[in-house]
Structure formats: C-alpha cells, structure tokens
Structure 1
Amino acid sequence: MTNQPIVCSFPKHNTDTIKENWYEDYFNDDYWNLVYYSCSSIEITENELSFITSILEESNASTVLDLFCGIGRHANRLSEEGYIVTGLDIDPNTIKIAESSSESHVDYIVSDARDFTTNNKYDCCLLMQTSFGYFSDIENQKLISKKFIHY
C-alpha cells in the first residue's frame, strides 16, 4: 500500500451559462476516464469496500441501494461479495459501463434519483463520492425524505 496522495483535477467546463441539467455535460468521457483511471484506483476501491462491508456486516445488511452508482465500482464488488445490489444513475452511458464490467448480477436502473420510486426497501443506501448535494436544498430534502431504507 502506498501513502502517496492521488492528485485529481477535474475537467474544466464553461460556468458562464449553467443549464439546469449541467451534469449531462460535466460527466463526460473525460471525467469518467479521469475517475476510472486516476482517482479510483483498485487500492482506493478496496479500502472503501473494506470499510463499507464492515459496516454492512455489523448491521447484518444484505440489500444495498447504490444511489448515483456511476460506473458501478462499488455496486459490482458488493454484488460479488454476495450482497443484493441495485445501482441507480441518471447517465445511461455510465450504467452501460457498470453493466459491462459486472461479473455478478446487479439490478442497474437509469433514473434521476429525485424521480426514482420503488416498493423495495433496502438495508443500506450507499452514496459515495460527491453526488449528494448537487441539487437545491429543497430537492436534497425531498431525496432524504424518500424511504428507501427500512428502519
């Protein structure tokens, strides 16, 4: 294990005109190449998963909703570990990458998390990276108030 920090700089985008669905332009191929090949090394993913699985084991969790799952690096690995996983992301291209790199079954869904509804209840709702907080405070509160997890 190395102690060297990984330096990540994200692609620059024109901020003069920010459109409502800004994430459609921001999360482009340049972004995913950077995340996949630089910021999300196998070592980092393994360390994150070690922490996540310790929490899941401690709480006897078996079902996981990975909101804003991106390319599925956590969802796929959790599924390989035996968890029942649903991955949700708004970008169909990232879902395609996630599906193509999965070695076990993950129920991938293309949807805006704000519009997502399900009758399923999960033991854990996973939000990795910086996806939470992209929306307005009101939209964030609505997302939090959705009852994805059974208590």
Structure 2
Amino acid sequence: MFYNLKESLEKPALYTKSKEAFWDDEYISKQMLKAHLDPDVSGASRKLSFIEQSVSWIKEKIPAQTYPELLDIGCGPGIYAEKIALENYQVTGVDFSKRSIDYAKKSAQQHGLANTYYYQDYLAMDLKQSFDLATLIYCDYGALSTKDRQTLLHNIYQHLKQGGKLLLDVFSQKFYQQFQEEQKWENCENGGF
C-alpha cells in the first residue's frame, strides 16, 4: 500500500476517526498487545505497580461485597480484569481489539477465572446484562469526541443497575498544564512500535 508522506504528516482535525480497522490491524494489534503486557511500560496499559495500586484502591472504595458485578470497558487483554476478579468481583470485559479479547479469554482460562469477555465496540455495546460497577480505565474517555462521550455514557447507563457506579480515570488539570505536543521519529529496525 502506498502512503502519501505529506498527507501522513498533516495534523488531523481533533477527534478525527481512522478509516482503517486500527485495533484489528495485524501489525498494530500485535504490537499493542506486546505493549499492554510489558509490566514496565506505560504505553498501552499503565505499569504493573500502578495497576496493582489501582485495584487495591478500587476494592477499598467500591468493594465487591456491595458491587459484585463489574463491567471493564476497554479491557484490552484483561490485565485489570484478572486482578479485579481475584478480589471476588464477577468481571465482564469489552474491547474492540480481537487479539486482546482472544488473549484475555485464554489467560482467564489458564488462571481458572470465570471472567467473560466480549469483542465489541463500546460505542455500540449491547450485552443484555446490567452491572453494579463499570470501569473505563486509562483515560479512554478523554480520547473521545463530545458526541462519542455522550454515546458511551448512554451505553454505560443502560448497562448499570439502579444505584450502580461508574469509575473512570481522566487526566488532571496539572497534566494538561504541563503537556506539550510534539512529534518524535525513531528507526525501529526490528519491527518496533
């Protein structure tokens, strides 16, 4: 496939959606999974130590005894979902990457976890089930347009039980004040990402 370099370097309009099946692209999904599973990198998931702290915080603030059924939206390969399941939550995960969902299913089975995973776009999510708690982790919310945020919140609302909770993380005001947009170019000789 030929790419126009000039077009590739142009900055897209804010929230422009890709025309390609980005999450299921053979190369990208493989590299994304690799980045998710690296415990020392915050590329696709947070570092393992942060994930473990987050799960401890979740079980303290929103305990499984009160909120047993948890929906992990944008669950990726199930890293949070598995750790949360070990804290006695009944976990269902949804993600738009087939490779990540396949990995999550196999990993849960290998670890004897009853987690359920669905390959679905959370903007069109339809699970025919409701949950006590929904999580949207790793700032996905901030990457969505206003219209997509409304769609997602509506979908989550439709999947929460009466009195259910939504836990999402967003970047702090301090993060935005310190953020500087930049472009970096690297030569990845061995198929880097």
TM-score, structure 1 as length reference: 0.78
1:36-75 matches, within 5 Å, as 36-37=37-38, 38-39=41-42, 40-57=46-63, 60-75=66-81
Residue 15 and residue 53 in structure 1: after superposition, are their counterparts in 2 closer, same or farther (change >3 A)? farther
CA deviations on 1:15-72 (whole Å, 9 max, x unpaired) are 6476235642595322332332122443222111101111221881101000000010
Could you say which residue in structure 2 is the equivalent of 1:135?
A: 144
CA deviations on 1:102-123 (whole Å, 9 max, x unpaired) are 2201110000011111332111
In structure 1, the gaps of 5 or more residues are 1-13
Match of 2:130 among 116, 121, 127: 121
Residue 34 and residue 82 in structure 1: after superposition, are their counterparts in 2 closer, same or farther (change >3 A)? same
Residue 140 of structure 1 aligns to which amino acid in structure 2?
R
TM-score, structure 2 as length reference: 0.62
CA deviations on 1:116-140 (whole Å, 9 max, x unpaired) are 1133211111011022233321121
Residue 159 of structure 2 aligns to which amino acid in structure 1?
F
Distance in 2 separating the partners of 1:130 and 1:27: 20
Query: Pairwise CA RMSD of aligned residues?
Result: 2.5
Residue 75 of structure 1 contacts residue 87 of structure 1 at CA under 8 Å; is this kept in 2?
yes
Identity of aligned residues (%): 20
In structure 2, the gaps of 5 or more residues are 1-7, 164-193
Residue 64 of structure 2 contacts residue 87 of structure 2 at CA under 8 Å; is this kept in 1?
no
Residue 35 of structure 2 aligns to which amino acid in structure 1?
L
Distance in 1 separating the partners of 2:145 and 2:20: 12
> Is residue 92 of structure 1 aligned with residue 98 of structure 2?
yes
Larger radius of gyration: 2
Equivalent residues, number? 138
1:20-35 matches, within 5 Å, as 20-21=19-20, 23-24=22-23, 28-35=29-36
